[in-house]
Every structure is written in C-alpha cells, then in structure tokens.
Amino acid sequence: MMYPLSRESLVQTPGRVVAWIHVTDGAELESLDCAGPAANSRPAPTPGMYQDEEGARVYYVTARGQAYLVRSPEAPSLLQPVDALPVAEAALLEELDEDAYDRALCILAEAADALESESVSVGIYEQDGHYYYVNEDGVYLLYGVKGARRFCAVTLPELPVGAQMVAEDQMHELPAALYLAIDDVEERADASPQVQS
C-alpha cells in the first residue's frame, strides 16, 4: 500500500492539480530573512496633490512618498511634513488635476521636491533590514543575507521612502561583504566611459 502523500502517488494522478507538501522542523524558517513591511501594510500614495472633500486641506506627495500638508483652513500656504496622508480621510481624498494647481501650490510642490533631492547624500542607507548605497551616479540596492559571503548591487530609480543613513558609529557593524559590493559599484563607475563636455 502506498502512503497517500508520497511522490509516487502524486505522479499517478493524471488530470489533477496536486500541491507538493513540504514539512519543516523550523530550522529553515530561522534562516529566512523576513525583514520588510508587513504584507498588509498600506502602499505609498501616488505622487501628486490631494484635497479633502471640503477642499479645506490640500496635501502634496513627493516622488519618494513623503507627504506634506500644503494648505489648511488655518494657513493658506505651508509646507508641513506629515507621516502619511490621514488614514481616516485617505478614502475621501481626491487627487487634484494639474489644472487646479494655483501658483502657491506649484511653488510649495517644487520646494518639497527640492527638500527631497537635497536630503539624499552619498552614503549607506538601511530600511527594514535592507541596505542601499547612494553615490553621485545613482542608488543601489545591496542585497544578500547577513551571513552571506557576497552582496549584489542592483540599480534603483530612487532611494525608498523611509530609508535612513547608517550612522558613522554603526559602520563597523555592517557585514564586510557589503563593502565588497560597494567596491564593485565604484569599480564599474570608474570603468564606464566618461562623457566629455
């Protein structure tokens, strides 16, 4: 008699979709790096201007997902960072068409974007257990697990929202393999042809 979940019995069931079951004692789970936001966490809003139902409060969201309150009943023009768009009102917020932007809103949006671009400097960043390297040429995700012998660098369009620069006094705690990946990024940058102007 065959055990009902043996591989042989699964192969002998033509025309049926069968899932392969893998049982673990938990040691494999400890080796997985599950760092990152929860699967049910709210996605970052799309960049742009948003207003509440009454049009009293207007928010601007930058390309990196940072939200700013740019108009309120108390202040017709302000640039106040907020952690996120108000959760209770998020479903009620509507995106403003670019035609509805007045001069003050345009200036505030440009100022918020300028603050975002100036806040990213060369260095190593960390967010949710992931490391990023920023240099003059771009942003790179350095992926690998903590005990890995090697990290790989992948180019990203921008630094993820919430990534924080690793403090100088914590640099010695980073894996040596991370620095090897950064050296690879710099060597590729040095080897690429430079544009003459």
Model pLDDT for residues 131-188, shown as the tens digit of each residue? 999 988 888 999 876 666 788 888 888 888 778 889 989 988 888 888 889 998 988 8
pLDDT for res 42: 58
What is the share, in percent, of the chain residues with pLDDT greater than 70?
Answer: 67
Predicted confidence (pLDDT) at residue 49 exceeds the cutoff of 80: yes
Domain count, the chain: 2
Q: Say whether both 137 and 75 belong to one domain.
A: no
pLDDT for res 197: 43
18 falls within a domain: no
Choose among 39, 38, 1, 3: nearest CA to 21.
3
Rounded Cα–Cα distance for residues 145 and 30 (Å): 12
Task: Tell me the mean pLDDT in the region 68-72.
Answer: 91
Q: Say whether both 62 and 109 belong to one domain.
A: yes
34 falls within a domain: no
Phi, psi of 82 (to 5 degrees): -125, 150
Residue showing tokens 């060369």: 122
Q: Say whether both 91 and 145 belong to one domain.
A: no
Range of the domain at 54: 48-118
Q: Say whether both 140 and 177 belong to one domain.
A: yes
Which of 76, 93, 118 corresponds to the end of one domain? Answer: 118
14 falls within a domain: no
Rounded Cα–Cα distance for residues 20 and 171 (Å): 43
Which is more confidently placed, 128 or 17?
128
